Amino acid sequence: MSSTGSTYGDIHRYEPARESTAAAIAIVLLTVIEVVLVGLFSYGLVGGWGLTEVGNMFLGGLLAGIFIDLAFVLLLYRKEFLPDVMIVKKRRRKWEDLYIREEDVDGTTITDGALDGIKRAVYPYYKR
């Protein structure tokens, strides 16, 4: 993918959502199932179903069903009702992540500033 004419933060591709009627009906049905499962779980907690071994497993199964149903609702919503957007991002080189200036990429040599060090050792008030 070439970034000719694209700058950082530009929208490269924007496809609007499909917004299908079948997905909307499926989300409504899954939401009704979700409300029923949450109601059963809440009633089971208040009723003390979790005090027996079988009731505890049943409540765990209800809770698993709640989260799986919620996952399908969110999956359908993301796929059918959110737009597909691609934003151009700037690829950075490794030295940029370390907050190093471009002129300092190669580092320094051993002799850089050696003469200043000698002058400072001989005369402590030497200014750079």
Residue linked to tokens 């999956």: 75
Instruction: Provide the pLDDT for residue 119.
Output: 73
Distance between CA atoms of residues 64 and 69, nearest Å: 9
- CB 85 within 8 Å of CB 11: yes
C-alpha to C-alpha distance for 114 and 15, rounded to whole angstroms: 60
pLDDT per residue as tens digits for the range 7-45: 666 777 777 877 889 999 999 999 999 999 999 999 999
Looking at residue 100, its pLDDT comes to 67
Dig out the tokens for 9 from the structure. 């933060």
Query: pLDDT of 52-89, one tens digit each?
Result: 999 999 999 999 999 999 999 999 999 988 887 777 77
Q: Domain residues of the chain, as ranges?
A: 11-92
Instruction: Look up the pTM and report it.
Output: 0.58
Written as six digits, the tokens of 24 are 């909307």
Q: Which ranges of the chain would DSSP assign to H, the alpha helix? A: 21-47, 53-81, 94-97, 114-122
